[in-house]
């Protein structure tokens, strides 16, 4: 079975909007694992607009499944990961001003840089993954960086699937096949949701893990809101 790692950035966003500790990020992480998820993902950014760097430390003893920290490997991020030593670090080439991750690594242009960073993490016993698109040359480049896994950037698939274009899965299948042949583990994430996840899973061989945050949290709000509204109405009778 493909493992589900839940990205809890949106929980932190909601908490930060009021300045208190509601919702409690650590309790949410504990509950998500008790509900059956096999991992917790966070993506701290330099401006700490959702996950704070302190959250990364506070979550370490709470995450009893797989702990995945995503981010752009600036020095502050590298130091954080090396100190915490999560199960996995996922390298994402996002600039400080981006709203959300919107591109994968150019593993040819940045190959030597990635080799250096990945070597440092692997020497510390941390599994590495790099965020990447489906270009087969870039998959080949990824294998040369020394990374353990790739994470397929799935926004284009999700967008096309919503339009009814199921052929959009083909480049992802081809990328996964090549990655497996090259000895790379396969993760995936970005805009995967309840509507497209089964189809994606069925067409991606050797899919080890998906990391899902925005859609899962949004779906949780909608699918749970009727129950909560009725609980309030009951108490107001």
**Active site members:** 43, 70, 190
* Gyration radius (Cα) of the chain, Å: 18
The HSE-up count of residue 75 (CA atoms within 13 Å, CB side) is 0
Q: Phi/psi at 167 (nearest 5 deg)?
A: -65, -15
Cα 155 vs. chain centroid, distance in angstroms? 13
CA atoms within 13 A of residue 70's CA, in its CB half-sphere: 29
Distance CA 24, CA 11 (A): 8
Q: Which residues have C-beta within 8 Å of that of residue 102, sequence separation ≥ 6? A: 94, 155
Provide the Cα torsion 86, 6, 63, 73; round to 10°: 20
């Amino acid at each position: 079975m493909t493992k589900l790692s839940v990205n809890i950035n949106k929980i932190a966003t909601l908490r930060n909007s009021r300045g208190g500790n509601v919702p409690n990020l650590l309790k949410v992480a504990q509950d998500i694992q008790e509900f059956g998820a096999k991992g917790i993902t966070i993506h701290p950014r330099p401006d700490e607009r959702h996950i704070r760097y302190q959250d990364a430390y506070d979550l370490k003893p709470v995450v009893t499944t797989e702990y995945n920290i995503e981010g752009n490997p600036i020095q502050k991020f590298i130091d954080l990961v090396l100190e915490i030593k999560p199960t996995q670090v996922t390298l994402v080439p996002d600039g400080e001003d981006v709203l959300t991750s919107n591109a994968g690594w150019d593993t040819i242009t940045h190959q030597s840089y990635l080799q250096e960073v990945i070597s440092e993490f692997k020497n510390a016993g941390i599994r590495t993954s790099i965020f990447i698109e489906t270009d087969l040359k870039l998959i080949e480049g990824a294998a040369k960086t020394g990374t353990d896994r790739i994470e397929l950037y799935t926004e284009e698939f999700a967008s096309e699937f919503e339009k009814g274009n199921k052929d959009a899965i083909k480049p992802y299948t081809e990328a996964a096949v090549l990655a497996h042949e090259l000895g790379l583990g396969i993760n995936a994430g970005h805009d995967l949701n309840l509507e497209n996840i089964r189809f994606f899973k069925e067409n991606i061989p050797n899919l080890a893990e998906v990391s899902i945050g925005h859609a899962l949290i949004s779906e949780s709000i909608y699918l749970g809101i009727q129950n909560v509204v009725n609980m309030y109405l009951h108490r107001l009778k």
